[in-house]
Structures are given as structure tokens and as C-alpha cells.
């Protein structure tokens, strides 16, 4: 029986690529999304992947949503915490609401989804959790104290939860993408984007499929000895 995987923010960009990669791997994939019903329907019709709408920053919605997915598709063995938002601005201009919303969704979503799915993984003695961090959580970024803090928090969350899950056959890892050719990056002004690409040693933006291949490995049986790790996929832009 195919293992069931949930990908949050799984209908567009990096999330879409991850959903497709896991489907190709033979998983039963459910792509969570936050609000764009039209886009989610188009994605589901095109790919044959089931979709489920809830706000990952809402704890009760995650619990209820995951319970429904389990009823409809089977026990959840794989969780990819990909959903994320930005509310950029310098600290001087950033509102508390901008800070809180990014922390609520980006970091809180990881806690909420793990809380919903980790107990079942423990019982079944198998699980894979992959949290999507960011190069900006590793190196920081001007005008993103909220986003950088949330993504950095994801990296710490990953290491701590990996220690809890190891004896139950659960691996918990993170991937820290660099600048990937998605709608989010496409919104960056061209002169700024040119400066970013100039700092990437391989000389180009990454592709969403390159992140998805990392997720496919970490969630496979081949990745069972990798846990508590942060895989940097950034074209050499940040090394440590």
C-alpha cells in the first residue's frame, strides 16, 4: 500500500514540484493549500493529486484537516512543511502583525502539522518529516527579520524533533533552498534579481524540481540514516 504524504502549500511553486515528485515516487499525495480554490482545482485536475484546504497556522484546522486526510486516504507517513509567506520590511517599518503572521504560518505551521501527524508515526514506527527552511534563515537577509527568524527557527525545530523521532523510525530533516525560479522570486525587481544571481557561484537561479529531488531522497527508504540534517540547495551561494 502506498504511503500517504501531505505537502503544505503543495499546489504551486516549490510545493507543486514536491507534490509531483512524491507522486512519481509512488506516494499517495495530498496537497494542502491556503486559499486559492481556482488554482488548487486547476492543479488537481491537471495532476490527479488530491487537494485539501486549511490554514497551517491554525492549530485546530491542522488537527482536523489531517484527521480527514487520514480517513479519506490512509495514515499519514510523510509530511512536507513547505507552506510559507513573506511580509517584508525593515524592523523600523515592520508592524507586529507582519511579524506575528509570518511566525504563525511559517514556523507555527511546522509545529501544528507535526503535532497532528507525529503521534501516528510513533505508533507505526515509521515517518518522514521534511521542513522547508531557507538560505535567508541561515545567512539572514536585510528587510526580513520576521522571515529569517521563522526559517532559522525551522532549522532548530528540525534538529530537536529529529532527536525525539529517531528511536521511533521517524526522520526529521530540513532543506534550505537558495533563490529558486518561482513566482515569489519573479516578483523581485529585475535590477535586484540581477545582483542576487551575480552572487550565486553556479550563475543561475535554482529550479523547483531541484528542491523536490532533495525531498524525494529524504522521504525515501534510502534516506533512513539521515536525520536532524539541513540540506542546503543554493548553488553555492551560502556555504558553512
Residue 9 — very low, low, confident or very high, per pLDDT cuts 50/70/90? very high
* Number of compact structural domains in the chain: 1
> pLDDT by residue (tens digit) across 91-136?
999 999 999 999 999 999 999 999 999 999 999 999 999 999 999 9
In angstroms, the CA 6 to CA 28 distance is 9
pLDDT of residue 45: 98
pLDDT of residue 48: 98
φ, ψ of residue 228 in degrees (nearest 5): 75, 15
Q: What is the mean pLDDT of residues 63-74?
A: 98
pLDDT of residue 38: 96
In angstroms, the CA 163 to CA 19 distance is 26
Domain that holds residue 53: 4-233
Look at residue 8 and tell me if it is in a domain: yes
Look at residue 239 and tell me if it is in a domain: no
pLDDT of residue 183: 82
Q: State the average pLDDT for the chain.
A: 96
In angstroms, the CA 30 to CA 154 distance is 22
Look at residue 240 and tell me if it is in a domain: no
pLDDT of residue 1: 75
In angstroms, the CA 195 to CA 91 distance is 23
> pLDDT by residue (tens digit) across 140-198?
999 999 999 999 999 999 999 999 999 999 999 999 999 999 887 878 888 988 999 99
Look at residue 45 and tell me if it is in a domain: yes
Are 152 and 137 in contact by the 8 Å Cβ rule? The answer is yes
Contacts of 213 (CB under 8 A, 6+ apart): 21
Q: Any idea what DSSP says for residue 107?
A: I
Look at residue 87 and tell me if it is in a domain: yes
In angstroms, the CA 177 to CA 14 distance is 10
Q: Where are the alpha helices (DSSP H) in 131-227?
A: 135-139, 145-165, 183-186, 190-198, 208-218
Beta strands in the chain (DSSP E): 4-7, 28-33, 50-53, 76-81, 127-132, 170-177, 230-233
Q: Write the CATH number for 39.
A: 3.40.50.720
Look at residue 85 and tell me if it is in a domain: yes
| Cut 0.75: pTM above it | yes
Cα–chain center distance at 168? 22
In angstroms, the CA 92 to CA 131 distance is 29
From 33, 142, 147, 179, the catalytic residue: 147
Query: Is 147 tagged catalytic?
Result: yes
pLDDT of residue 154: 98
pLDDT of residue 146: 97
Distances (CA, A) of 199 to 177, 234, 237: 15, 11, 6
Look at residue 174 and tell me if it is in a domain: yes
pLDDT of residue 223: 96
Percent of all residues in the chain with a pLDDT value above 70, rounded to a whole number: 100
φ, ψ of residue 237 in degrees (nearest 5): -70, -35
Q: What is the mean pLDDT of residues 210-222?
A: 97
Percent of all residues in the chain with a pLDDT value above 90, rounded to a whole number: 93
Cα–chain center distance at 65? 17
Inform me whether the pLDDT recorded for 43 exceeds 90.
Answer: yes
Residue environment code for 162-171, b if the CB has 16+ CB neighbours within 10 A, otherwise e? beebeeeebb
Rg (CA), the chain: 17
Amino acid at each position: 500500500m502506498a504511503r500517504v504524504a501531505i505537502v503544505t502549500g503543495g499546489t504551486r511553486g516549490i510545493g507543486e514540484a514536491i507534490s509531483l515528485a512524491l507522486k512519481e515516487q509512488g506516494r499517495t499525495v495530498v496537497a494542502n493549500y491556503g486559499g486559492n480554490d481556482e488554482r488548487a482545482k486547476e492543479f488537481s485536475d491537471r495532476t490527479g493529486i488530491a487537494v485539501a484546504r486549511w490554514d497551517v497556522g491554525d492549530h485546530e484546522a491542522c488537527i482536523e484537516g489531517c484527521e480527514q486526510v487520514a480517513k479519506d486516504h490512509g495514515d499519514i507517513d510523510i509530511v512536507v512543511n513547505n507552506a510559507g509567506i513573506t511580509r517584508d520590511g525593515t524592523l523600523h517599518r515592520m508592524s507586529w502583525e507582519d511579524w506575528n503572521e509570518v511566525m504563525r504560518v511559517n514556523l507555527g505551521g511546522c509545529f501544528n502539522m507535526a503535532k497532528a501527524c507525529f503521534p501516528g508515526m510513533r505508533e507505526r514506527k515509521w515517518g518522514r518529516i521534511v521542513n522547508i527552511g531557507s538560505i535567508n534563515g541561515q545567512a539572514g537577509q536585510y528587510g526580513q527579520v520576521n522571515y529569517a527568524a521563522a526559517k532559522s527557527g525551522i532549522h532548530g525545530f528540525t534538529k530537536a524533533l529529529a532527536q525525539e523521532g529517531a528511536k521511533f523510525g521517524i526522520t526529521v530533516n530540513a532543506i534550505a533552498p537558495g533563490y529558486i525560479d518561482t513566482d515569489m522570486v519573479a516578483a523581485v525587481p529585475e535590477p535586484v534579481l540581477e545582483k542576487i544571481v551575480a552572487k550565486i557561484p553556479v550563475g543561475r537561479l535554482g529550479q523547483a524540481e531541484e528542491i523536490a529531488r532533495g525531498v524525494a531522497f529524504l522521504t525515501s527508504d534510502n534516506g533512513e540514516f539521515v536525520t536532524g540534517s539541513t540540506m542546503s540547495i543554493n548553488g553555492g551561494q551560502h556555504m558553512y
